[in-house]
Structure formats: structure tokens, C-alpha cells
Amino acid sequence: MEATERMYSVEQRGDAVIIHVKGDLDVSSAPYLGSTIALAEGGAGTRIVVQMDSCGFCDSAGLAVLAMAAKRNGSAFFVVLPAAAPCRRSFEVTGLSVLIQIVSTLQLALDVELTPGSARRPAAGQKKASAWNSIQTGGGKVAYAASRRAARSSLRSAPSAELP
């Protein structure tokens, strides 16, 4: 907890939750950022801004956390990174600058109009069911296919029962 407070400060401004990242974002600190973002998702704010002006280094674990947050929150998730920031390069090398909305100042992130419906996400912290899960639990398409098969076989068996 202490590490979390030292490295991140969270602030609510209007409809935005702003998370300031102070130290480096690496394997040891990225999980804390992940849980901070998850907490923010459960809160009242509709947009989440991660401010990384004073972040000197961001490794692949940090990028993974930000990418997943961007995936969950869509256009309601922003990362503030000035053009001269040292860790901007990591975003460009991995191509994640396409997925994550990167803005150069905090004000820009707060000014962008959110289109209604884009801001909402599945319940915070809840994993989306993967294809693997739905196969195991028999949900979705598999259940539909099974019900179709059952319907078809009952149709086929009905006339054959009358024949003899």
C-alpha cells in the first residue's frame, strides 16, 4: 500500500479520474497501477487519465497494463505523454500508440468530448469470457449449436417413428 501511495496519486476532477505516475513503471510497480486503474473503473468517473509526465521508464509490463486498460475502456482512457517524454519511444516501438490514446497535455485529455456509449465497459475487474471459457462452460455459440442439433434430430426421428 505504501508503495502505491508513493508512486501514484489519484485525483478526481469533474467526470475524470486522474492518476499521476511518479516513478518508473516496471515489473515491480505495474501491478499497482493495474489495481489503481481497476479501482478507478469501479468509481463514478467516466474517463480515466494516466499522467506520465514524470515517468522516466516504462517496460513491457507497464505497457501491458496500459494496453489492457485501453482495451477495456476504449475511448474513455487517455495517457498524457509530452512529445519529449523519455518513455514515449516504447509506445511507438511496440505500435501501442495506435491502440492507446496518447495526448500531450492533461487539458487535452479533459477537453475531448466523449461519444455516449463509448465510455462504458463490462463491470470493473470482470474478465470477458474467452472462447476457451465458453467452450468449457457450453455457453454462447456451442449451446446454440447443440440446441439446433437436438431440434434437427427430433425432426428426423419423428417421421421414422411412424414408418414401421
Partner 1 sequence: MIASLSPFDPELGPADSVFNRVQLSVRVTPAKRAARGGDWCETFALSKDVIALSIGDVCGHGVEAFPMMLLVRQAVRDAALRGFDPAQTLAAANRAICMLDPWFYATAIFALLDTRRRVLTFANAGHPPPLMIGPGSARFLTYPAADLPLGIRKVSIRTSRVVNTPASALLVLYTDGVTEYERRPLLGETQLFDAARSAYACSAPATALAIEELMSLPAYNHDDVSILTASLPGVNLSPHLAWPHRLSHAARS
Give the span between the Cα atoms of 90 and 40, in whole angstroms.
25
Alpha-carbon distances of 138 from 133, 149, 156, rounded to whole Å: 8, 14, 24
Q: Tell me if 29 sits within 8 A of 23, measured CB to CB.
A: yes
Residue 75 contacts partner 1 per CB under 8 A: no
- Would residue 117 be called left, alpha or beta, if left means φ above 0 and alpha means ψ between -120 and 50 degrees? left
Rule CB under 8 A: say whether 64 interacts with partner 1: yes
Residue spans of beta strands (DSSP E) within the chain: 8-13, 16-21, 47-51, 77-80, 101-103
Q: What string marks each residue from 97 to 136 as x (binds partner 1 by CB under 8 A) or -?
A: -xx---------------------------xx-xxx----
Residue count at the site for partner 1 (CB under 8 A)? 27
**Cβ distance to partner 1 smaller for residue 110 or 142:** 142
Does residue 25 sit in helix, strand or coil?
strand
Question: Which residue in 38, 39, 96, 106 binds partner 1 (CB under 8 A)?
Answer: 96
Binders of partner 1 among residues 33 to 62 (CB under 8 A) are 56-57, 59-61
Binding interface with partner 1 (CB under 8 A): 24, 26-27, 56-57, 59-61, 64, 67-68, 71, 86, 89-90, 92-96, 98-99, 127-128, 130-132
